[in-house]
Amino acid sequence: MDAESSSSFKYAILDFIQTLAVAAAISLFIYWFFIQPHRVDGSSMENSFYHEELILTDKISYRLSKPKRGDVIVFQAPNTTDRDYIKRITGLPGESVLLRDGDVYINGQILQESYTNEQHTTNGEEFLKDDTPYLIPDGYYFALGDNREHSSDSRSFGPVQKEKIVGKVWLRYWPPSSMGLIPSIHYPQFDESQSLKR
């Protein structure tokens, strides 16, 4: 290889390394500030999400607006910083939540939940027991797994602080047969515009 060819080869290698470095920097920027991939671990969100499914979490939306009832969120697991949980927001700041006869009541109204199993029952646990109303503090959200009999959630460890929320689950990208945007949930029995003012 002559000197000119050797120099061209070195420049090509340097260009390749620089391109990789820029791509890595852009990927890290997106990862830290905008979108983060997660893998579903366990059965707590069946039948909405299944074990080993891959999802993308939108990390920017909650910097611009407040979380809403029905949003599926990823948040830092209680008492640890090396694990995240995936659950669904059912109660908003300032609302009263009550568990009675296997159902969830928000401000005295039963929460109609289309995403849970037909035979599901929402029983109280360590933090929130049956027939014991709880007022959700400002800046906190009550989050439950869709598969109530197999979920560790706000019933056992309390409401989720907004600062602990990583983001809103935005897209499922694996398996391919289930790929798509995560649909919004609407609760006709609640005036969401009033709840969001809190």
Instruction: Look up 164 and say whether it is catalytic.
Output: no
Of the residues 59, 68, 87, 168, only one is catalytic, namely: 87
Instruction: Look up 44 and say whether it is catalytic.
Output: yes
In our burial notation (b when 16+ CB lie closer than 10 A, e otherwise), range 79-99 reads eeeeebbbbbbbbbbebebbb
Any residues with CB less than 8 A from the CB of 93 and at least 6 apart, and which?
Answer: 136, 137, 138, 139, 140, 141, 198
Sign of CA dihedral 58, 79, 140, 187: positive
CA distances from 96 to 81, 93, 166 (A): 29, 9, 24
Residues assigned a catalytic role: 44, 87
